[in-house]
């Protein structure tokens, strides 16, 4: 299934932590909660609610990590999730398992939400995120952590998300 189609997840302890982080971010907006970050925080919260409403706990997520890093850290990688736990990460092109070092760069949907929230807390020079309009999971993320530093930008692009039934 492509990123324009469905996916899902249930409420977990990380979801509660993410909600607390979003609340803290909202409470500390210097502009009174009306700037671009406040808009993204609100959009993130709404997207998260749409995602949780799906109730999926088993799915395959295919994503690319956008970075100035080696090919093993970029993918695309298929992340297999069962009962809300990552059970496998394999390179889409070869089917080979992702080694442990780059594996941390290929999260599940929960990890994508956390990446956005953590990036917001670091006051990045620029951050953009797009979410599936119906199912809420992040479809594209871009973060430039420092405007005056070259090649530290990171992001993700979800290429497909297939729920397992």
Residue 147 in any domain: the answer is yes
pLDDT of residue 2: 44
Return contacts of 98-103, CB within 8 angstroms, 24+ apart: 98/72, 99/72, 102/70, 102/72, 102/73
Exposure string over 9-42, b if 16+ CB within 10 A, otherwise e: beeeeebeebeebbeebeeeeeeeeeeebbebbe
Residue 95 in any domain: the answer is yes
Q: How many domains does the chain have?
A: 1
* Residues spanned by the domain of 19: 13-163
pLDDT of residue 35: 56
Residue 79 in any domain: the answer is yes
pLDDT of residue 165: 67
pLDDT of residue 37: 83
Q: 81: exposed, middle or buried (C-beta count within 10 Å: 0-12, 13-18, 19+)?
A: buried
Residue 25 in any domain: the answer is yes
- Note the pLDDT tens digit of each residue in 60-104: 999 999 887 878 888 999 999 999 999 999 999 999 999 999 999
Least confident stretch, 18-22, 55-59, 125-129: 18-22
Residue 2 in any domain: the answer is no
Residue 93 in any domain: the answer is yes
pTM of the model: 0.78
Give the strand order in the sheet containing 138-144. Answer: 85-91, 77-82, 59-67, 154-163, 138-144, 126-131
């Amino acid at each position: 299934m492509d990123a324009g189609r469905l996916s899902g997840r249930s409420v977990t302890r990380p979801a509660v932590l993410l909600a607390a982080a979003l609340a803290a971010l909202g409470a500390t907006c210097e502009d009174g909660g009306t700037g671009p970050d406040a808009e993204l925080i609100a959009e993130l919260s709404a997207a998260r609610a749409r995602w949780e409403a799906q109730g999926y706990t088993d799915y395959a997520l295919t994503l690319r990590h956008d970075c100035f890093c080696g090919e093993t850290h970029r993918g695309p990688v298929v992340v297999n999730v069962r009962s809300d736990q990552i059970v496998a990460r394999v390179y889409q092109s070869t089917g080979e398992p992702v080694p442990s070092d780059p594996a941390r760069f290929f999260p599940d949907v929960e990890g994508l939400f956390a990446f956005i929230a953590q990036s917001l807390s670091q006051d990045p020079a620029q951050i953009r995120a797009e979410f599936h309009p119906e199912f809420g999971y992040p479809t594209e993320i871009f973060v430039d952590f420092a405007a005056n530093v070259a090649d530290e930008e990171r992001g993700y692009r979800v290429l497909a998300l297939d729920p397992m039934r």
